[in-house]
């Protein structure tokens, strides 16, 4: 259900077209939720049928016609309802689903060299991801202003925006620390 609620959350800031929602998703929420363009359009249709949104077609001559989505009263209720029931999302956050860890589990079937290569490659990608996030952190303050309206104090928005980036940095850092431990252990055994 969370794609729906992410879209509701953005439309609660201001009315947007599917195209704009797609771009906004990619440039802000995509760190912790990903969605393809085609999926977003499908979900918008479903949400309109549920009565959470209204849409209005805008004809344009220079550019393709567009369709602006606006959250309804019922949509705001749904959003408030979602906020009030966080338990299942917290439970989901406890679940790890990782094909990479499945490889680690079965790594006893391969050579120690293969396992080491896997871990080193993982560590490297964690470093890259962490560095990319640190850059995002720096530009967060100015960036946040482009996606939320003026009515909410900018500081409050930025606080939570930064907290989500901080989560990512912490996440990748723990991946690096774990990989270091694992690599050290295997190298030791290999001697």
- Kindly state whether residue 77 participates in binding a copy of itself, applying the rule CB under 8 A: no
Pairwise CA distance, residues 77 & 99, whole Å: 37
- Kindly state whether residue 33 participates in binding a copy of itself, applying the rule CB under 8 A: yes
List the one residue from 42, 129, 140, 143 that touches a copy of itself (CB under 8 A): 129
- Kindly state whether residue 36 participates in binding a copy of itself, applying the rule CB under 8 A: no
3-class SS of residue 85 = coil
Question: 143 phi and psi, to 5 degrees?
Answer: -65, -45
- Kindly state whether residue 164 participates in binding DNA, applying the rule CB under 7 A: no
Q: What is the number of alpha carbons within 13 Å of residue 133 lying toward its C-beta?
A: 22
Total site size for DNA, rule CB under 7 A: 27
- Kindly state whether residue 73 participates in binding a copy of itself, applying the rule CB under 8 A: no
CB environment 4-17: b (16+ within 10 A), e (fewer): bbbbbebbbeebbb
List the one residue from 65, 98, 139, 151 that touches DNA (CB under 7 A): 65
Residues in contact with a copy of itself, shown as a per-residue x/- string from 48 to 67 under the rule CB under 8 A: --------------------
């Amino acid at each position: 259900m969370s794609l729906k609620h992410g879209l509701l959350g953005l439309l609660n800031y201001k009315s947007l077209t599917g195209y704009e929602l797609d771009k906004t998703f990619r440039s802000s929420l995509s760190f912790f939720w990903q969605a393809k363009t085609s999926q977003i359009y499908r979900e918008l249709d479903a949400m309109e049928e549920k009565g959470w949104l209204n849409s209005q077609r805008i004809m344009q001559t220079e550019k393709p016609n567009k369709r602006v989505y606006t959250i309804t009263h019922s949509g705001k209720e749904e959003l408030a309802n979602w906020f009030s029931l966080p338990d299942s999302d917290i439970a989901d956050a406890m679940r790890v689903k990782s094909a990479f860890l499945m490889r680690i589990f079965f790594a006893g079937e391969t050579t120690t060299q293969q396992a080491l290569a896997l871990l080193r490659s993982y560590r490297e990608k964690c470093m890259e991801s962490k560095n990319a996030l640190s850059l995002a952190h720096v530009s967060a303050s100015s960036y946040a202003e482009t996606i939320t309206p003026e009515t909410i104090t900018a500081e409050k928005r930025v606080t939570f925006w930064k907290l989500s980036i901080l989560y990512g940095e912490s996440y990748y850092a723990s991946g690096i620390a774990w990989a270091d431990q694992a690599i050290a252990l295997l190298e030791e055994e290999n001697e």
